[in-house]
């Protein structure tokens, strides 16, 4: 069996105000070409197809156009699509019966028996065959993103997923497909994997309460196709091949060095998986000035001057996104305006400017003075002290003038209120 594993498309995402429809179209076109070249038997999409539970119509159109085109180009292709934490399970499953006619199987909602309330585990066992015949070769355990209500009360996330998988394996052993190799599709945050420390868009729970101990949910599958974490990587401390496919596009500037693409898996007759990476270059790259840390305003303007200029007939769809991290040693109210002007003719899409205060200045700013001392200091003197503590420099006449004007305006407002 030959399988392609992908996840975390986040269709409908906007990046610092920039729509990403063209970027997603570029990725999906590449994936269609890859499917046609590689001719896999199955495609697995492990959650977070959309960026939100209520995606724009254009994003939904992108998904369904892709699904139908994929099954048209690769005759006999089977597609398994599971819901992630960003998706609306019900919305994703709405056209499931229609899609099933095209060998597209969607699993999002946790289905229960109306009479008993018990979970319908058989619904999540999907036998898959080669493109050229109908005989089942492997079984996919298609597990959508599980929430606490989907498993017994009091279970941790690890216990809940392990319980769900254990029930699937029990049902499989009683089915006509017992003994076939297993591949699992799931969406969770495995402990020990690499994520961004500074910023991320996976919506990880603070404190790591949604972490899953991978070895405890390792059910002996030939391959586990994971979604949720945006960096493509193998999950360690497991006996079986357990991989994150990574996101289709970088979802934050912290992800600018991630390698994007899909996983190619071949499972032999003995249930042994061989895995390799098929790489994709996104339509737009990400640039950070400076590459690491922060830069002085002078260094920022020098780096902007070195950026390529926009040509007369430039393609705006391919211009990279830019962030600037500036070291602020003293307030510069006009800095953003000056930066925007400097970038007007540069071949980038400007996203944000992050002002960073040097650590030693930030520490000094947090020093406390006694209440008695504070009451005896005039506002002007307090402003001067704070300025010097923060920026290690004397307050300029211009800044002092601005402060006094603000103080007078506040006093006038208070007088008017009385």
pLDDT digits (tens, 9 = 90+) for 120-139: 999 999 999 999 999 999 99
Q: Cα–Cα distance between 82 and 94 in angstroms, integer?
A: 13
More confident residue, 41 or 367: 41
Stretch 83-87: mean pLDDT: 96
> Per-residue pLDDT for 359 more than 80?
no
* Per-residue pLDDT at 206: 54
Report the share of the chain in percent with pLDDT over 70: 90
More confident residue, 415 or 278: 278
Stretch 250-258: mean pLDDT: 94
Across the chain, mean pLDDT equals 90
More confident residue, 175 or 115: 175
Burial class for 18, CB neighbours closer than 10 Å (0-12, 13-18, 19+): middle
Q: What is the CA radius of gyration of the chain?
A: 27
State both tokens at 302. Answer: 């020098």
Label residue 37 by pLDDT band (50, 70, 90). Answer: very high
* Per-residue pLDDT at 369: 45
Sheet containing 286-289: which strands, arranged edge to edge? Answer: 286-289, 321-327, 349-356
Q: Three-class SS of residue 292?
A: coil
All domains in the chain, ordered by first residue: 2-280 (3.60.21.10), 284-356 (3.30.160), 359-418 (no CATH)
Label residue 414 by pLDDT band (50, 70, 90). Answer: low
Question: Which contiguous run of DSSP H or E holds residue 55?
Answer: none
Q: Single out the residue of 50, 103, 19 nearest to residue 284, CA to CA.
A: 19
Tell me whether strands 14-15 and 18-19 are parallel, antiparallel or unpaired.
antiparallel
> Per-residue pLDDT for 351 more than 50?
yes
More confident residue, 320 or 396: 320
Q: Report the Cα 313 to chain-centroid distance in Å.
A: 33
- pLDDT tens readout for residues 162-216: 999 999 999 999 999 999 999 999 999 999 898 876 776 777 765 566 899 999 9
- Which residues, in sequence order, are bridge partners of residue 243? 225, 234
Label residue 411 by pLDDT band (50, 70, 90). Answer: confident
Q: Cα–Cα distance between 165 and 215 in angstroms, integer?
A: 13
> With contact defined as beta carbons under 8 Å apart, do 115 and 139 qualify?
no
* Per-residue pLDDT at 61: 97
How far from 59 is each of 55, 64, 259, 317, CA to CA, in Å? Answer: 6, 9, 23, 17
- pLDDT tens readout for residues 308-318: 998 876 777 89
Label residue 148 by pLDDT band (50, 70, 90). Answer: very high
């Amino acid at each position: 069996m030959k399988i392609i594993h992908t996840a975390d498309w986040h269709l409908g995402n906007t990046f610092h105000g920039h729509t990403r429809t063209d970027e997603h179209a570029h990725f999906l076109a590449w994936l269609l070409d890859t499917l046609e070249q590689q001719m896999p038997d199955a495609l697995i999409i492990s959650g977070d197809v959309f960026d939100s539970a209520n995606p724009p119509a254009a994003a939904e159109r992108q998904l369904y156009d892709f699904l139908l085109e994929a099954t048209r180009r690769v005759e006999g292709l089977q597609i398994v699509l599971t819901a992630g934490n960003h998706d609306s399970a019900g919305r994703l499953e709405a056209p499931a019966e229609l899609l099933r006619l095209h060998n597209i199987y969607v699993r999002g909602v946790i289905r229960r028996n109306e009479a008993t309330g018990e979970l319908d585990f058989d619904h999540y066992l999907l036998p898959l065959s080669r493109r050229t015949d109908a005989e089942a070769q492997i079984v996919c355990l298609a597990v959508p993103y599980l929430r606490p209500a989907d498993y017994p009360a009091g279970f941790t996330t690890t216990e809940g997923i392990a319980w769900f998988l254990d029930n699937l394996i029990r049902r499989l052993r009683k089915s006509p497909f017992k003994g076939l190799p297993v591949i699992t599709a799931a969406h969770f945050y495995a402990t020990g994997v690499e994520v961004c420390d500074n910023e991320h868009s996976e919506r990880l729970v603070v404190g790591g309460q949604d972490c899953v101990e991978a070895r405890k949910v390792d059910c002996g599958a030939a391959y586990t196709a994971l979604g949720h974490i945006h960096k493509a990587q193998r999950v360690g401390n497991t006996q079986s091949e357990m991989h994150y496919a990574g996101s289709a596009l970088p979802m934050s500037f912290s992800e600018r060095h991630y390698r994007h693409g899909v996983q190619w898996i071949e499972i032999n007759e003995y249930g042994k998986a061989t895995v390799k990476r098929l790489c994709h270059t996104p339509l737009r790259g990400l640039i950070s000035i400076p590459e690491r840390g922060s830069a002085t305003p002078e260094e920022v303007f020098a780096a902007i001057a070195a950026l390529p200029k926009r040509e007369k007939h430039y393609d705006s769809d391919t211009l990279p996104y830019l962030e600037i991290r500036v070291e602020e040693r003293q307030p510069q109210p006009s800095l953003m305006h000056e930066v925007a002007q400097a970038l007007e003719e540069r071949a980038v899409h400007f996203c944000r400017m992050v002002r960073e205060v040097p650590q030693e200045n930030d520490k000094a700013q947090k020093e406390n003075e006694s209440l008695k001392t504070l009451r005896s200091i005039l506002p002007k003197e307090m402003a001067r002290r704070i300025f010097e503590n923060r920026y290690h420099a004397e307050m300029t006449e211009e800044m002092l003038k601005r402060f006094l004007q603000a103080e007078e305006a506040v006093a006038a407002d208070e007088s008017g209120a009385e």
